[in-house]
């Protein structure tokens, strides 16, 4: 009998919590709180996407700059710094 009473009390508590939750949701929705919170979350997600995009673009530019610097350093190694030095034909 006590198990049945505890079960019934638990079910009543759960139903009461669900009712309160629905009432609060209805109240917040009617005042625009839910929409504002959803918009804030979407804006944060957009910000994160833009930050990731910016990081990727910066990384790509650094890689391009590094590759270009490497090409330039490879090309300059084949050409002496002062080609006339030591070739004094005057």
Residues 6 or more apart from 38 whose CB is under 8 A from it? Answer: none
Task: Look at the alpha carbons of 47, 51, 57, 58 in this order and tell me if their dihedral is positive or negative.
Answer: positive
Query: 57: how many CB neighbours lie within 10 A of its CB?
Result: 10
- Give the residue, 33 or 80, on which the prediction is more confident: 33
Domains in the chain: boundaries: 1-31, 37-75
pTM metric for this prediction: 0.42
Tens digits of residue pLDDT in 24-79: 888 877 777 778 888 999 999 999 999 999 999 999 999 998 888 888 887 654 55
Report pLDDT for 12. 92
pLDDT at 89 over 80: no
- Give the residue, 27 or 87, on which the prediction is more confident: 27
Q: At what angle do helices 33-78 and 2-30 cross, to 10 degrees?
A: 70
């Amino acid at each position: 009998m006590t198990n049945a009473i505890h079960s019934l009390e638990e079910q009543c508590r759960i139903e009461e919590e669900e009712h309160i939750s629905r009432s609060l949701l209805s109240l917040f929705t009617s005042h625009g709180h839910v929409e504002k919170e959803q918009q804030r979350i979407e804006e944060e997600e957009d910000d994160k996407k833009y930050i990731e995009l910016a990081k990727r673009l910066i990384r790509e530019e650094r890689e391009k700059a590094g590759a270009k610097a490497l090409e330039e350093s490879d090309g300059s190694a084949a050409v002496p710094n002062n080609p006339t030095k030591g070739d004094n034909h005057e």
